[in-house]
Chains A and B, each alone.
Chain A
């Protein structure tokens, strides 16, 4: 039935199970006449209560336990949790240990971004249901994508022991650090990966992008002297510039009926985290050749079209390859794999740039190092309100589209964010009555 012939009537767009996203969500849009009445990104993935059961666990277990929140970005959880606990203990992990963490994180960016670019997002632009069917027509492209993704995974396996839920990260550093020769063994592969990433930038920049340019509030980290991955201050394009420890004074979370994730707002307003936000706030920190490349493929220092996030992800993938090569080249084996850690009663916050945007952790522990309170704010719950805003704008501007196409475009709008619903959903705060 062609609903568009009856503009005065109510139209609904409903997608019961979103595909090509991590986790379980649904989409609901209701249009009455020419007005978008309701937009909901439903998150029905069941809560897992990490913040509740972390209480009473030893601080040293936190990086391994929180990694289990997300199989796609476990390193992000390990890094944000370690940094929060290290902040609490007054530890600063610097030098080559910090460089190794950045290197491990580069592996996760390469793996996660490549997964999203080619497997989750690209099929939308090319009209395929998935990358496997794309491979039937363009086998070389998909094989090269798999090679790029594999290199990211190999970097994670080398430094982390395995690609999903790495086992080598600990509060204070690592259990074991690699010898230089081990790192250099993956150097050739990374150089090939860099070539594929460059091809990817040029290829995805040539896709057709629907027109949408919201006036976003971007939020990202700002790391001293480098494109943000591991740490930094939290900044926005509206003048926010705060230390991580002040996060909760500026960002609030609310619980809405249709979602098993908490919605975050900045002073009551929705905001955007992730590649687009990082790029817009840190363009000046990209190496000059990458800035030129961005310009060459039609991306200026400002990019507000969420559909072009695929191009930004490709640029970040290329950056991660180059950064990994640089870090490898400068690597010298540290004297010890980690700093000595002595627990004490303290509270600390940490934040890092997960592939999908800033991931905030705060922990409080007692003098024995047992966790007494945990708070985790993942990127997708921060973006959820913005996704709904994008949908509202996009649908309002494209009411003339036939329903199947509008539905597909709505799904694509959601996939622009690379939403990780598994992450977003597990954070319903429970207030536990004191147990003795």
Chain B
């Protein structure tokens, strides 16, 4: 479109598995349309062509775990009009945030094969702990339809339509009989944000919290149910300490157990 500015999209990676940015490449039906609507200016996993900033929309995957990355995210923020954190690593520190709960004293006594080669921070932290984030898209991994919705919303300068309610509503919408009520399977669905499509209960297992806490979760009530189902304290603590261990509601609940 000559004369019309095509918005620029940048994708950045920090400590992560690459899965959330892969979600964009997994949008097989929409990928070429997205590439038509934006200029992909920085997306190393997909392209060796890199354009200089500033960028209209930066998608940030991964958590901050090194001093260098703590500086890098500042530069990216300065170079981005909108910055969206995508996935559990970027929004809550990810599974690697389990290091945050190790005894700090014990962690300083950790010995690598050659520790002098490694630089790492004591904590794995969310992007929002370092810079202002315009939106956080949850999930481990993110849902690709939601990812497209977020990109589309920012390109059109509107608020993304990402429901903050629990997985339970998705089970109802899907017609899945509650696995916790009907079969006594411990499930985090009642306190976990929707977005995955309630896959786990549809596959006969309990939700394990990939999308982090829903808005105002009643974790205390849920854990009372889990106790009733015979789940011990250690297992309850670990259930809240997985991919969103750093999310406040989950870390607070985990601290009550174990």
In whole angstroms, how far apart are the Cα atoms of A24 and B68 in the complex?
Answer: 13
Q: Which residues of B contact A46 (CB under 8 A)?
A: 14-15, 65-66, 69, 120
Q: Please tell me if the beta carbons of B66 and A153 are within 8 angstroms of each other in the complex.
A: no
Task: Output the residue of A142, A162, A254 with the most chain B CB within 10 A.
Answer: A162
Q: Please tell me if the beta carbons of B95 and A68 are within 8 angstroms of each other in the complex.
A: yes
Chain B residue with the shortest CB-CB distance to A135: B32
A72 close to B (CB within 8 Å): yes
Assuming the contacts A167-B199, A255-B112, asked whether A432 and B106 have C-beta atoms less than 8 A apart, the reply is yes
Interface segment out of the listed A53-61, A78-86, A301-309, A356-364: A53-61
Q: Please tell me if the beta carbons of B114 and A175 are within 8 angstroms of each other in the complex.
A: no
Partner of A142, one of B29, B32, B118, B208: B32
Binary per-residue interface labels of chain B (15-54) against chain A in the complex, 1 for a CB within 8 Å, 0 otherwise: 1111110110110110110010000100111111110000
Please, how many residues of chain B have a CB less than 8 angstroms from a CB on the other chain?
Answer: 62
Q: Please tell me if the beta carbons of A153 and B110 are within 8 angstroms of each other in the complex.
A: no
B238 close to A (CB within 8 Å): yes
Q: Which residues of A contact B46 (CB under 8 A)?
A: 20, 119, 130-132
In whole angstroms, how far apart are the Cα atoms of A168 and B28 in the complex?
Answer: 23
Q: Please tell me if the beta carbons of A48 and B95 are within 8 angstroms of each other in the complex.
A: yes
Interface of chain A residues 31 through 64 with chain B (CB within 8 A) = 45-50, 52-53, 57-58, 61, 64
Assuming the contacts A47-B118, A130-B49, A153-B26, asked whether A165 and B203 have C-beta atoms less than 8 A apart, the reply is no
A110 close to B (CB within 8 Å): no
Interchain nearest-CB distance for B112 vs A (Å): 6
Q: Please tell me if the beta carbons of A22 and B45 are within 8 angstroms of each other in the complex.
A: yes
Q: Please tell me if the beta carbons of B45 and A20 are within 8 angstroms of each other in the complex.
A: yes
A70 close to B (CB within 8 Å): yes
Q: Please tell me if the beta carbons of B23 and A164 are within 8 angstroms of each other in the complex.
A: yes
Q: Please tell me if the beta carbons of B45 and A48 are within 8 angstroms of each other in the complex.
A: no
Binary per-residue interface labels of chain B (155-184) against chain A in the complex, 1 for a CB within 8 Å, 0 otherwise: 000000000000000000000000000000
Partner of B111, one of A72, A74, A431: A431
Q: Please tell me if the beta carbons of A167 and B47 are within 8 angstroms of each other in the complex.
A: no
Q: Please tell me if the beta carbons of A49 and B17 are within 8 angstroms of each other in the complex.
A: no
Bin chain A's interface residue count.
Answer: 35 or more
Q: Please tell me if the beta carbons of A74 and B19 are within 8 angstroms of each other in the complex.
A: yes
A129 close to B (CB within 8 Å): yes
Interchain nearest-CB distance for A116 vs B (Å): 11
Chain B residue with the shortest CB-CB distance to A70: B17
Q: Which residues of A contact B191 (CB under 8 A)?
A: none
Chain B residue with the shortest CB-CB distance to A147: B28
Interface of chain A residues 265 through 315 with chain B (CB within 8 A) = none
Chain B residue with the shortest CB-CB distance to A130: B47
Assuming the contacts A143-B32, A433-B106, asked whether A65 and B199 have C-beta atoms less than 8 A apart, the reply is no
Partner of B99, one of A49, A170, A411: A49
Q: Which residues of B contact A65 (CB under 8 A)?
A: 95, 242
Interface of chain B residues 80 through 111 with chain A (CB within 8 A) = 94-96, 98-99, 102-103, 106, 109-111
Q: Please tell me if the beta carbons of B205 and A165 are within 8 angstroms of each other in the complex.
A: no
Chain A residue with the shortest CB-CB distance to B142: A164
- Provide a sorted-by-A list of 8 A–B residue pairs whose CB atoms are within 8 angstroms: A53-B96, A53-B102, A57-B238, A68-B95, A70-B19, A130-B49, A132-B35, A429-B112
Which 3 pairs of residues, A with B, have the shortest CB-CB distance?
A71-B19, A130-B47, A129-B49
A contact set with B: CB distance below 8 Å: 17-24, 45-50, 52-53, 57-58, 61, 64-65, 68-72, 74, 115, 119, 123, 129-133, 135, 139, 142-143, 146-147, 149-150, 153, 161-165, 167-168, 170, 175-176, 254-257, 259-260, 262, 337, 411, 420, 422, 428-433, 435
